[in-house]
Amino acid sequence: MVQNAVTISLGIAILRIGVSPINVKLELSNLKNLLMTVKHLKILHQHSQVISKDGNDVIEGLIKSPKSLPPKYFYDDRGSELFEQICDLPEYYPTRTEASILGQYADEIAAITGSCELVELGSGSSTKTNYLLNAYQKISHNTSIAEAFSYIPIDVSGGILKTSVLHLQQKYPDLTIAGLIGTYEEALLYLDKNHQRSRMIFFLGSSIGNFNAAESDEFLGKVSHALTKGDYFLLGVDLQKSTEVLEDAYNDAQGITAAFNLNMLSHLNWRFQGDFDCNLFEHKAIYNQVDHQIEMYLYAKSKHEVSLDILDLKVQFETGERILTEISRKFNLEDLQLQLRSQGLQTVKFWTDPQQLFGLILCQVKY
Ligand SMILES: C[S@@+](CC[C@H](N)C(=O)[O-])C[C@H]1O[C@@H](n2cnc3c(N)ncnc32)[C@H](O)[C@@H]1O
């Protein structure tokens, strides 16, 4: 956990494996833990200055009414572990459905784009990515070494990124992997627009649904900016469906999603010296049929005060008052393609599962 806190607060760290070693003078002994297993580590301090001071978004969210918190705070090591458990829940159809689409169409995606630099935003365990890596490996075996593909996984959760990079390096010893620990915004800003090879950025798990309409426009604009003419963007999205299926998926019978939601408070406690009592909050996810989005809340069970010392913040909660911790928008494929096009991302092809639960859209930058 401590390791995670250190890497995140530094901004972007790059774990380079399979490329030439970079000597880095480490300024923080806390990073030793990370270095024990990952040899080549580079910290890009200059990129941290473009983000707001760590925790400002927490203050902003908790002093306003109604209260909210950014979903990125779900993901410390424990949060990432819980998310992996959510992916295996019987009610949580998105992960296995998206995996089945990727399993069926990864070869076709690789054939359309050709060998390229693969950049994954919010890669987590990179489990589903294996379908793409296998497909690209097949086509790169048929081309010259100079055209071999590379993989850049990006995630704010340093622990899971480290584990997945090490695992992938063992599984694909010839693959060049360069992991970036940081936020989507930091990474998109860092990625060189003038890359030598063609690039495909991909964003799976319907994480784009965590942005509201205006935020997703801004996000897609940044994706578009990190690409050049002819590059690709592959987007996995959860589609609109019945309230019952959706609410079951986010209020599972085993209570794993509840633990995941409540873990955000524990994360804030260790990261900002807080005293949230998780027993005083309750998880509930509701489908908002007007806005087509799941809204995940933590409800205060009683009136009480919470302190976050590092942020110099005291927050009052009334009984029944709620914090919005996540929206998860559910999409209509036609509308989404219009939005993508307005950001210069033209649909090449899209795929869904037979029940049309989930969609995968491949777009290309045309201009
Ligand atoms: C819903 S999970 C999806 C993981 C994986 N892509 C999948 O489809 O199963 C979201 C992932 O994005 C990461 N993440 C969340 N917010 C982020 C942010 N603002 N910047 C970078 N990564 C973020 C989390 O740590 C987590 O691994």
Residue ID of nearest Cα to ligand 1 atom 14: 122
304 CA to centre of ligand 1 in angstroms: 31
Model pLDDT, residue 33:
46
Measured from the Cα of 186, ligand 1's closest atom is 20
Residue ID of nearest Cα to ligand 1 atom 11: 122
Is the overall model pTM greater than 0.75, yes or no?
yes
Residue (of 67, 33, 83, 77) closest to 308 by Cα position: 67
129 CA to centre of ligand 1 in angstroms: 13
Mutate to test the pocket of ligand 1, among 119, 157, 210 (most ligand atoms within 8 A of CB): 157
Mutate to test the pocket of ligand 1, among 57, 69, 72 (most ligand atoms within 8 A of CB): 72
124 CA to centre of ligand 1 in angstroms: 6
The answer to whether residues 153 and 120 touch, using CB atoms and an 8 Å cutoff, is yes
Helix H or strand E encompassing 307 = strand 304-308
CB neighbourhood size of 238 (10 A): 24
95 CA to centre of ligand 1 in angstroms: 13
Mutate to test the pocket of ligand 1, among 52, 75, 98 (most ligand atoms within 8 A of CB): 75
141-to-46, 119, 128, 137 alpha-carbon distances in Å: 38, 20, 21, 6
The answer to whether residues 348 and 95 touch, using CB atoms and an 8 Å cutoff, is no
196 CA to centre of ligand 1 in angstroms: 27
**Helix (H/G/I), strand (E/B), else coil: 5:** helix
The answer to whether residues 335 and 358 touch, using CB atoms and an 8 Å cutoff, is no
Q: Spell out the per-residue pLDDT of the chain, length 367, in tens.
A: 333 333 333 345 565 443 332 322 333 334 444 443 454 334 433 434 334 458 999 999 999 999 999 999 999 999 999 999 999 999 999 999 999 999 999 999 999 999 889 999 999 999 999 999 999 999 887 765 545 788 999 998 888 998 999 899 899 988 888 898 888 998 998 887 777 789 999 999 999 999 999 999 999 999 999 999 999 999 999 999 999 999 999 999 999 999 999 999 999 999 999 999 999 999 999 999 999 999 999 999 999 999 999 999 999 999 999 999 999 999 999 999 999 999 999 999 999 999 999 999 999 998 8
305 CA to centre of ligand 1 in angstroms: 30
Measured from the Cα of 120, ligand 1's closest atom is 6
Ordered domains of the chain (ranges, CATH):
2-49+92-239+331-365 (3.40.50.150), 58-73+243-329 (no CATH)
Model pLDDT, residue 54:
80
For 240-292, the DSSP string reads P--HHHHHHHHS-TT-HHHHHHHHHHHHHHHHHTB---GGGEEEEEEEETTTT
For residue 23, give the amino acid letter.
N
Sign of CA dihedral 85, 91, 93, 99: positive
Any residues with Cβ below 6 Å from ligand 1, and which?
72, 75, 80, 83, 95, 122-124, 128, 155-157, 183-184, 204-205, 207
171 CA to centre of ligand 1 in angstroms: 22
Residue ID of nearest Cα to ligand 1 atom 13: 122
